[in-house]
Structure 1
């Protein structure tokens, strides 16, 4: 694998960083140990500026190159998941019920490796802004960092990010111009009926049957209201109601997720879901209240930046190990907020066989760290060459 030679020399050090981060997983914005460790490494590396306390525990580090030029942003997420680890590795989580099951410890390590190289060589013009972000999994930390003004404050001109991809060959890169990942919304429908004895349903207004009717009818939005070539997923993931076998309850609760790429499709879903909830409620003699929460927007790459990033990836991994026309997927990513604020691109990078993302047996492949760090470093050198 043609990683940058100097970065290859960091492999053992990067493994130490990554495995320490893996042992101290923290959630959402509450990352005191993680952010302190990252800040300590950045100071050791010798970045020119370190700005902490952004979006609570996020930070931006600045490295200055040789000569005037723009600022390129590179982002890594730092938060973990509320999952109990089952890897059995020596560096397993020491925080009960929390683990790095999505590889953010690896993402952070890749960016630290790139930082070490860029400080040593400074073979670029302008500046690099290293964005270490909290709360990707829950909370939209990227959006908060954008709201707090990092793009203007640090004069960031373009921005890039990577996510590891278990199951894909080590070092394979995948991206695409345009939509890459979906917008994600959450819906909750609270149903109020009138409970009673299970032997006397005629005396009740049954929220259980209403919940079943609403959950089934919602699926017609995909099959009958949406144009077949417009991507849309609606999944009912929870129905909670009742306590015992001979009592019809008073209430029921429905919850689920909506994935879209197009704002008009999203708007249609919101309206149809409201109509269906109310119409079904009337037919069952109950009331239904829809709470529709708009979440992360679609992760949409800028075409020119995606092409450039794919070219850099080819330099690192070879032409036959880069896919630059990948089909969009229905997962979501809050890097989308940064791509709404500035041109840029997001890529997936293979890390070989192993448990999938968000699985209790997942562990980041340390062999991937020098590859990702090399990609970030060459991205900067090619985007902002000296002279």
Structure 2
């Protein structure tokens, strides 16, 4: 069992240790077994009124009840890491080959564990607080799985808030805006099947090479607009390509192409998908084509009232904030909670001049942990007392 200290300096030291322990043992989307176990161990020292485990997969929810009836406020952090090799050399670098916490979910989890410690000492005056440690954010499936879990009806949040650290924004500064916050995105996997042939007689086969070569620029050309604030913005990014077998004697008979499609809103994604499918049909006429969609993220939008509550909390805590560079090109599944009827908002919390998210040498700055804790505690007290 983790020893949770009660005084603030010792609590921060314990949270740093927890964060770095999570960093050493990253787990991918849908595999967060040990990460969830560590979180539950910490929560056991905070004495929540109830804990839900196996939530939407390996998710965990800790519930802290107030004395009087009132709304339910949910705060969310993410559990999963990324399939990227870490090249940074912190003492707490990943011990799992090819996996690393390069998006800061270890830090977000530490912040929420810190809030659990605070709530363990002082419950809200009314209502209840739900601390959701969500699985599988990186592939877009986690929020939907939590909402589809029958136990989600037990917590039914009225408000939901989340923060995401953001390199390039001054440490501890924030960015938020009502409305569009994160783009919709999805991965399109394109299989092209022809027929192999001897490399000396390629005319006897059906090579997908010309279609593959044509589709890369054709799909990229579907991008529109450089400014994501433009309602017509959309982006097609080639992420992977494969052609045939690694052999000099075989003209290829199969190919595969991966493209990530991105749009400012969900209706824009519908149009982008139609255009992508038309381009594929045009350039792969003689081939057998298979299509599948992956990592589906709907657009994320901030509720007006929840955004205003966030802004008041920033001001009360002396956190500088603005709405520059929003919405983001990056996608986020937190918007699913808003679509499920919860007044929700996400904010970016600056992590300073460090490597960008998903870069192999990124590492979450521990100095952001107390800032995030303070902000979340202010949100709770502003709504629930």
Give TM-score scaled by structure 1 length.
0.89
Gaps of 5+ in 1: none
Mean Cα displacement is larger for which, 211-220 or 104-113? 211-220
Other-structure match for 1:347: 347
Distance 1:256 1:64 in 2: 45
**CA-CA distance at 1:343 after TM superposition:** 1.2
Q: In 2, are the aligned partners of 1:70 and 1:127 still within 8 Å (CA)?
A: yes
Higher helix share: 1
Distance 2:234 2:151 in 1: 32
Q: In 1, are the aligned partners of 2:29 and 2:137 still within 8 Å (CA)?
A: yes
**CA-CA distance at 1:336 after TM superposition:** 1.9
Distance 1:210 1:325 in 2: 41
1:312 paired with 2:313, answer: yes
What is the total number of aligned residue pairs between the two structures? 375
What SS class does the counterpart of residue 126 from structure 1 fall into? strand
Say what the alpha-carbon RMSD is for the aligned residues: 2.4
Other-structure match for 2:252: 249
Deviations 1:300-324 (A, max 9, x none): 1112211221221222234xx2013
In the TM superposition, 1:1-387 aligns within 5 A as 10-138=11-139, 140-198=141-199, 200-222=201-223, 229-242=231-244, 243-245=246-248, 247-282=250-285, 285-293=286-294, 295-318=296-319, 321-324=320-323, 326-341=325-340, 342-385=342-385
Distance 1:190 1:156 in 2: 42
**CA-CA distance at 1:75 after TM superposition:** 0.5
**CA-CA distance at 1:368 after TM superposition:** 0.5
Give TM-score scaled by structure 2 length.
0.90
Gaps of 5+ in 2: 1-5
Deviations 1:203-255 (A, max 9, x none): 4433101111222222343359xxx7511011122221133456431112111
Distance 2:89 2:282 in 1: 51
Distance 1:75 1:53 in 2: 16
Distance 1:308 1:330 in 2: 24
Distance 2:51 2:339 in 1: 25
Deviations 1:145-202 (A, max 9, x none): 0110454211311101111112221111111111111111111222222333555554
Q: Name the CA shift for 1:359/1:294 in 2 (closer, same or farther; >3 Å).
A: closer
Q: Name the CA shift for 1:253/1:336 in 2 (closer, same or farther; >3 Å).
A: same
Mean Cα displacement is larger for which, 361-370 or 285-294? 285-294
Mean Cα displacement is larger for which, 348-357 or 188-197? 188-197
Relative contact order (alpha carbons < 8 A, sep ≥ 6): 1 or 2 greater?
Answer: 1
Deviations 1:354-384 (A, max 9, x none): 2222222221111100000100000000012
